[in-house]
Amino acid sequence: MKHPVQLNQDNLLEIGNGIFVPNYIRTGNKTGIVHIGVGGFHRAHQAYYLHKLRQLGEATDWNICGIGLRKADRKLYDVLKKQDHLYTLMVKHPNGNVEPEIIGSIIDFEMGTTHPESVIARMANADTRIVSLTITEGGYNFNPTTGDFNFDNPNIQHELKNPQDPRTVYGFLTAALKRRRDEGLSAFTILICDNIEHNGDMARKMLLAFAEAQDLELAKWIAEEVCFPNSMVDRITPVTTKADIEILAQTYGVKDEWPVTCEPYIQWVVEDKFSNGRPEFEKVGVQFVNDVGPYEKMKLRLLNAGHSVLGLLGIIHGHTTINECIEDKSFAIYLRAFMDEEATPILGDIEGINLEDYKDSLLERFGNPNIKDSVGRICMESSAKLPKFLIATIHDNLARGGSIKFATLVIAAWCYYSDKRMDRHGHTIEIIDAMNTELHKAAEKTQTDPLAFIRQESLFGNLVLNERFTKRYLKAIQQIYTNPNIKKYMLEMI
Ligand code: CS2
């Protein structure tokens, strides 16, 4: 057993005896990318791609400055400051191998909650040419059914009246863009890295709605100058556990308080539309295309929806991880049936992609026994995910007369989960969701009003008015509420 060495710039040489460390100089360089929302995903994906590029001796001016706009970001901010913004990426292979690598592409971090002016100044700095975001599917402040910007949010109201005191991404982005315009600087690109169909177009619409309400002239300038490339991002990144931190210390001798774990697979497909240049990411495998739409849809409706299918059914059954679900044959077969019969028909042909191979690869990735992605992570924030991942597919299939039975059971399971907050054995489930209270309130009415859960219009639109859907849904609700042995109903369908 090695004595663990604290991860920081001074100790890199010593740490580098055992594992890969950055081979490039990290001080005195520009931060060309400002990234809002430095979670595990950003660190396993975009920051990793940039690190690869820097390892090739490229992209010297494109280092990342992380930004935290939530109080909860403070913990990572403190850890990264202590580690000179270095962290370990632990790639977990299906055969049990773990490949740790120290990533150095993030070189600075600012907290908007305590130092808003520093964040605006950083974004408005001439060196900044891209502002990228991973603020989760629920972070964009729009109504999932209408797609309209939510002006009722008190933080948004505050920012509209006090542009000098921003709180959300919208306030910060407009403050920084205004400063750039006033100083005669060119705009930055806004690059969205969250799982939302047409994520760039959506962000453009939201930012313009906000900016128009704040400053019409500025809104016009943003509309003309800022590019919002759509992009599809992909890498499964489970939540870091204590065991990961211990393995890293004991086996590899690295004391890192917050490493990131991920699968070997990585993909990024980006629309090649940038306001102010970009790193040559194609040199490290990023695909630049004219139309990301088909790739986004394929990923959201197969991978992300597939995760939710396993997550919600699995959590009620009592499975704890996604790979445990795949090891359970009935879950694997059910998932494949959902993909083949409900998701694939709405995707059509995608140039250069063999959907059968893609689905095979998803089952393999989900089954990676080393990754141990918890069903809890997948079920987290379902209210922000399901409208985009799964409910959209139900709407599409109702319109085309396609199958809806596999997805409908998942919606009924979601209702049961929100109502009882227990698995089928009666074990408590902790639910993390911005709409937790509303979901619970609606779901607990199910006994007296079986359609109560799907009457939530902002999530389901007008699904409650569709007889074909309600008939299926009522059957599933009746089954699960009589006996939550979910697998029984899954088996009846496959
Ligand atoms: C998952 C995603 O959040 C979820 O429910 O489906 O985080 C998924 O692991 C990533 O999008 C993979 O790229």
- Is the Cβ atom of 45 under 6 angstroms away from ligand 1? no
Q: Give the DSSP H/E element, type plus range, for residue 414.
A: helix 405-420
Q: Are 269 and 111 in contact (CB under 8 A)?
A: no
Which ligand 1 atom sits closest to the C-alpha of 304?
A: 6
Structure-token pair, residue 135:
């603020």
Structure-token pair, residue 325:
């679900």
Residue 2 has a pLDDT of 59
Q: Are 374 and 449 in contact (CB under 8 A)?
A: no
Residue 491 has a pLDDT of 97
Per-residue pLDDT of 280-335, as tens digits, reads 999 999 999 999 999 999 999 999 999 999 999 999 999 999 999 999 999 999 99
Ligand 1, pocket-test mutation among 237, 265, 295, 432, most atoms within 8 A of CB = 237
- Show the beta-strand stretches assigned E in 171-302: 189-192, 231-234, 254-255, 260-262, 267-271, 287-289
Q: Are 268 and 45 in contact (CB under 8 A)?
A: yes
Dist. CA 379 → ligand 1 center (Å): 10
Check pLDDT > 90 for residue 3. no
Residue 487 has a pLDDT of 98
Dist. CA 203 → ligand 1 center (Å): 19
The structure tokens 């305590």 sit at 114
Per-residue pLDDT of 89-112, as tens digits, reads 999 999 999 999 999 999 999 999
Which ligand 1 atom sits closest to the C-alpha of 237?
A: 9
Check pLDDT > 70 for residue 265. yes
- Per-residue pLDDT band for 143 (boundaries 50, 70, 90) equals confident
Closest C-alpha residue for ligand 1 atom 4? 378
- Is the Cβ atom of 385 under 6 angstroms away from ligand 1? yes
Which ligand 1 atom sits closest to the C-alpha of 385?
A: 5
Dist. CA 369 → ligand 1 center (Å): 17
- Is the Cβ atom of 230 under 6 angstroms away from ligand 1? no
Phi, psi of 90 (to 5 degrees): -105, 105
The structure tokens 């990793």 sit at 48
Which whole number is the average pLDDT over 167-178?
98
Ligand 1, pocket-test mutation among 303, 313, 323, 361, most atoms within 8 A of CB = 303
Q: Are 389 and 300 in contact (CB under 8 A)?
A: yes
Ligand 1, pocket-test mutation among 362, 378, 388, 433, most atoms within 8 A of CB = 378
Q: Give the DSSP H/E element, type plus range, for residue 482.
A: helix 467-482
- Is the Cβ atom of 307 under 6 angstroms away from ligand 1? yes
Residue 427 has a pLDDT of 97
Gap between the Cα atoms of 270 and 289, Å rounded: 6
Gap between the Cα atoms of 392 and 460, Å rounded: 9
Per-residue pLDDT of 363-412, as tens digits, reads 999 999 999 999 999 999 999 999 999 999 999 999 999 999 999 999 99
Structure-token pair, residue 451:
């359609």
Closest C-alpha residue for ligand 1 atom 13? 234
Phi, psi of 457 (to 5 degrees): -65, -35
Which whole number is the average pLDDT over 133-160?
93
- Per-residue pLDDT band for 348 (boundaries 50, 70, 90) equals confident
- Per-residue pLDDT band for 259 (boundaries 50, 70, 90) equals very high
Check pLDDT > 90 for residue 19. yes
- Is the Cβ atom of 235 under 6 angstroms away from ligand 1? yes
- Per-residue pLDDT band for 352 (boundaries 50, 70, 90) equals confident
Q: Give the DSSP H/E element, type plus range, for residue 315.
A: helix 305-317
267 forms beta bridges with 234
The mean predicted confidence, pLDDT, of the chain is 97
Structure-token pair, residue 144:
């999932």
Q: Decide: residue 399, CB within 10 A, 0-12 exposed, 13-18 middle, 19+ buried.
A: exposed
Which whole number is the average pLDDT over 258-272?
98
Q: Decide: residue 457, CB within 10 A, 0-12 exposed, 13-18 middle, 19+ buried.
A: middle
Check pLDDT > 90 for residue 255. yes
Nearest to 15 by CA among 242, 243, 246, 248: 248
Any idea what DSSP says for residue 276? S
- Is the Cβ atom of 262 under 6 angstroms away from ligand 1? no
Phi, psi of 482 (to 5 degrees): -75, -45
Check pLDDT > 70 for residue 1. no
Gap between the Cα atoms of 100 and 91, Å rounded: 6
Which ligand 1 atom sits closest to the C-alpha of 308?
A: 5
Residue 478 has a pLDDT of 98
Gap between the Cα atoms of 399 and 55, Å rounded: 49
Report the percentage of the chain scoring pLDDT > 90. 96
The structure tokens 């509420």 sit at 481
Dist. CA 304 → ligand 1 center (Å): 6
Gap between the Cα atoms of 209 and 125, Å rounded: 25
Which whole number is the average pLDDT over 145-162?
94
Residue 144 has a pLDDT of 78
Which whole number is the average pLDDT over 236-265?
97
Dist. CA 68 → ligand 1 center (Å): 21
Closest C-alpha residue for ligand 1 atom 5? 378
- Is the Cβ atom of 378 under 6 angstroms away from ligand 1? yes
Gap between the Cα atoms of 141 and 243, Å rounded: 35
Per-residue pLDDT of 399-448, as tens digits, reads 999 999 999 999 999 999 999 999 999 999 999 999 999 999 999 999 99
- Is the Cβ atom of 379 under 6 angstroms away from ligand 1? no
The arrangement of strands across the sheet holding 33-36 comes to 106-111, 64-68, 33-36, 130-133, 189-192
- Is the Cβ atom of 234 under 6 angstroms away from ligand 1? yes
